[in-house]
Structure formats: structure tokens, C-alpha cells
Amino acid sequence: MSLATVDLVVRGGTIVSSTGAMSAGIAVDGGVIVAIARDDALPEARETIDAAGKYVLPGVIDPHVHFRSPGYEYKEDWTSGTAAAACGGVTMVLEMPNSDPPTSTVDGLQVKQAIAARDAYVDYALYGLLGQQNLDELPGLARHGVIGLKCFMGNNPIGHIDDGAMLEGLEIAASLGLRVAVHAENAAIIERRSGRLRAAGRRDPLAHLESRPAVCAVDAVERAIAFAEAAGAQLHIAHEGCKDALPIIRDAKSRGVALTAETCPHYLLLTAEDMHRVGHVLRVNPPVRGPGHAEPLWNGLVDGIIDMLATDHAPHAIPEKTADDIWDCVSGFGGLETAVPLLLTEVNRGRITLEQYVRWSSLAPARTWGLYPRKGVLDVGSDADIVIVDLERDGTIRADRFQSKSKITPFEGFRTKGQPVCTIVRGRVVMRDGTLEGRPGWGRLVTPHRARPRP
């Protein structure tokens, strides 16, 4: 090894990959990993981080976040959202298209790219919209660097898509080599059930769940897979929280459909019964379901039916989440600052291993979205995206301490064991001991290595 001084050395920790762990250090220069070796074999560095007693993981990639800017900055913006990511141990985010303007056109995409380039603490990629009215925009979105496309099958303010446009959009996406993430719910069922419940005077939190029965997910997942299979497209099922959809996903994978799926901490750790405790705060689409769904989702992760973890970070102002009427409360809540400690707590409880967590939170999203091996691993030549975690550090989730503008969470008061204590993005520390470091603008746009387009 050359004796030249490098930018950064992380020494004394235990490096964890998806397949194992080892005691070693990491040398970083020019934003990339240049050596992984015994501590005594590492070069001199301009900065050294002592990770003794801690675990050194690939930076977490969150494949599903909403930063609200442009258009809804009072809920979140790129500075606050990526600061939340940095403090949560997340080194890269994939941001969804619902903003104002949405990323449904090249012009809309470029507006968001400019904001993110100015304001981001961590690296990022942007989804384009696959919608009813913008199919002719998809080639331009691909050329300008979207990570993939998002299609909202459910009733979403950004607009509903019919089956004909969805199939055609998947065909175009296949020709472009872009994966399509779908919000898989049946909009017609939701609209009719919601109308009946409201007419009956139901205003309680559980009315939201009743408006979205499991068949909404089953039908939409089946249709999305059928269309993607016919189109030869790559498909990703976003925020799956329904056990009844898992056999459909498993069967499609077994016959070779290019299919991946994600789930979120709230589906794994909460049930609809928690609405009695936190009320309307837990309103989210798709809904958190009753007891009996979480364990199959955990098993789905272990078995590979579900590929990865996401947060669906969807911040809102407190008044938007606390109205008396469930139908007046918006859906979603933040997750970037709670996900890592919540999952590390499950590691400490013995439910999962650190190796499994690395696979679900780093390696799988990197592989799925064309980022590997630049992202998602700690290998020589990879970007130096690192999160150092202390499995012994206790914490309590308090929304008033969030970097996010959204100071409300259904996990309020949860006791955790295991915390991210240092977040490094391309060799630069952006969080240390819970304190944000650096300044906005360090984060960079990352574009995918696309799959071979379909002829």
C-alpha cells in the first residue's frame, strides 16, 4: 500500500456486509474507498475516526421519500429532508415525483434537480412520474437522469392512471430500461368504500383502514404484475404492508418476472390497533393493517419475497395530522430519523441480524436501482458512504428533536437500543454524535446504470 496520506481513515470498528463481519479499517481518498485493511496497515490520514466498539455499515439507501419541494416547502424542503436523512444514518435517498410542479416533465424534473443540487446534504436520485397524461415525456425524463418511474394506481392527488395508459407506460419504460415503482391499490374500491363510510358518519381512525380492504392490494398487485409481465418491464412494488399480496409476489418471482418489493418499519412494528393510542397520526396509504400482517412481512424479508426496506418518508404539518375527522387528516408521516434506530433495536432483540439489515437497507436498493457497486457496499472503488452505529446506545424517539420540519410520529416515545453515531457521504462527515455537520449542497445527483432496454 502506498504511504501517501489519504483524506480519511475509519479504524477500530467492525465492518459489516450482507455476508459477514470483520475487524478492519477503511481508508478514503477523493470520496471513494481506496483500502480496507487491518488498522496497522492503513495509511496516514488528514482525519481519523475511531470506531472502536462500534459497527461500520454501508450507508443506508432509502428508496422511497417525499421532500415536498417545490410547492409544499412548509411540510419539508430539501435542506430539512436531507438533514433528517443525515442524522438518521441515511446517505442516499430516492425522491418521489409528487411536488408542484411534479416531475412529470423534463422542465419539472430540472426545477427539482436545481433545488436539490443547492440544498442536499446527502446524495439523491429522482423518480419521474408515469401518469395518465405524460407518456410522451418518458423518454426525455430517462435522458435527463431519472432513477425510475413512479405510477400511482390508487387515488392520489397527483392523479389516477387507467389500465390502458399504465400498460402503455410500462411498455415505454421497458424500452427505456427503467424500473417502474407502483403504489398498488385499487382506486375504485377505495372511492366507493370511503363514500359509504363517510355517508354513515364514520370519522374515526379505523374508518380509513376499512376503506382500503386487503383486496385493494391483492387486485392492484396482481394487475401491476400482469401488465409488467406482458410489457417485459421491470416492476417494483412500493410500501407493501399486506400479507395477502406476498404469495402473488412470490409466484411472479418464481416464474422470472423482473420484480422487487419493499416494506416499511410502520408495517413491521405497528398494527391498526395502535390507532387507539396515536389516533389519526397513523393514517397512511396503504394503511397499517390489523394484527397478523407484520409477521408474514418479516418472514417475507427473510425469504426474499420482499427485497428491501424503505421509509415512505411523507412529512406533514402537525395540524394536517391531528384534525378531529379522519377524512380531514392527510396520509403519511416522517421516517428518516426513526428507521435506523428502530431496526437496530430489532437487531438487539435478536429478530434480525446486522448482515440482514445491510442487505435490506443498502445492498438491495443499490442493486435494484442500478447503483451497485458504486453504492450499497463497502468495497475498494465504491463511494465512501458509511454509517457508524453504536448498538449499545439507548434512545427515545422524540419528534420535537427531528431535523425534519414534520414534528409528529406514531413512534413518539418508543425506546430504542442502537443508534447511528456518524454518517459519511462520499468521504465527508455530515453527522457526528447526532449533530449535523457541513452545509447544504454536498449531496449529488446519482443516475442509474440502466438495464438493457427491451427491443
- Given this model, what pLDDT does residue 31 score? 98
Please state the rounded mean pLDDT for residues 120-145. Answer: 97
Whether pLDDT at 422 is above 80: yes
What does DSSP say about strands 90-95 and 123-129: parallel, antiparallel, or unpaired?
Answer: parallel
- Given this model, what pLDDT does residue 160 score? 78
Q: Cα 220 from chain centroid? A: 21
- Partner residues linked to 246 by β-bridges: none
- Partner residues linked to 65 by β-bridges: 95, 313
- Given this model, what pLDDT does residue 1 score? 44
pLDDT band at 406 (very low <50, low <70, confident <90, very high): very high
Name the burial class of residue 210, with classes exposed (0-12), middle (13-18) and buried (19+) by CB atoms within 10 angstroms of its CB: middle
**Per-residue pLDDT tens for 338-385?**
999 999 999 999 999 999 999 999 999 999 999 999 999 999 999 999
Please state the rounded mean pLDDT for residues 204-222. Answer: 97
pLDDT band at 455 (very low <50, low <70, confident <90, very high): very low
Whether pLDDT at 337 is above 80: yes
**Per-residue pLDDT tens for 285-312?**
999 999 999 999 999 999 999 999 999 9
User: What domains can you pick out in the chain, each with its CATH number?
Assistant: 60-368 (3.20.20.140)
Q: Cα 216 from chain centroid? A: 22
CA dihedral 97, 99, 102, 106 (to 10 degrees): -80
C-alpha cell at 375: 453504492
Q: What interhelical angle do 214-231 and 246-254 show, nearest 10? A: 20
- Given this model, what pLDDT does residue 450 score? 65
What's the pTM?
0.97
Please state the rounded mean pLDDT for residues 50-59. Answer: 98
CB 66 within 8 A of CB 96: yes
- Given this model, what pLDDT does residue 155 score? 74
- Given this model, what pLDDT does residue 139 score? 98
- Given this model, what pLDDT does residue 154 score? 73
- Which range, of 46-60, 144-158, 239-253, averages the lowest pLDDT? 144-158
Whether pLDDT at 27 is above 50: yes
- Given this model, what pLDDT does residue 453 score? 53
CB 113 within 8 A of CB 445: yes
Whole-number average pLDDT of the chain: 96
Whether pLDDT at 454 is above 80: no
> How does DSSP assign 304-356, residue by residue?
TSS-EE---B----HHHH--SSGGGSPS----TTTHHHHHHHHHHHTSS-HHH
Whether pLDDT at 183 is above 80: yes
- Which range, of 1-5, 222-226, 237-241, averages the lowest pLDDT? 1-5
CB 430 within 8 A of CB 420: no
Instruction: Give Cβ neighbours of residue 184 (< 8 Å, ≥ 6 apart).
Output: 153, 154, 217, 220, 221, 224, 237, 238, 240, 245, 286
C-alpha cell at 116: 436539490
**Per-residue pLDDT tens for 64-104?**
999 999 999 999 999 999 999 999 999 999 999 999 999 99
Q: Which residue type is seen at 453?
A: P
| CA-to-CA separations, 98 to 131, 331, 356, in angstroms, rounded | 11, 14, 31
What does DSSP say about strands 6-11 and 45-50: parallel, antiparallel, or unpaired?
Answer: parallel
**Per-residue pLDDT tens for 105-132?**
999 999 999 999 999 999 999 999 999 9
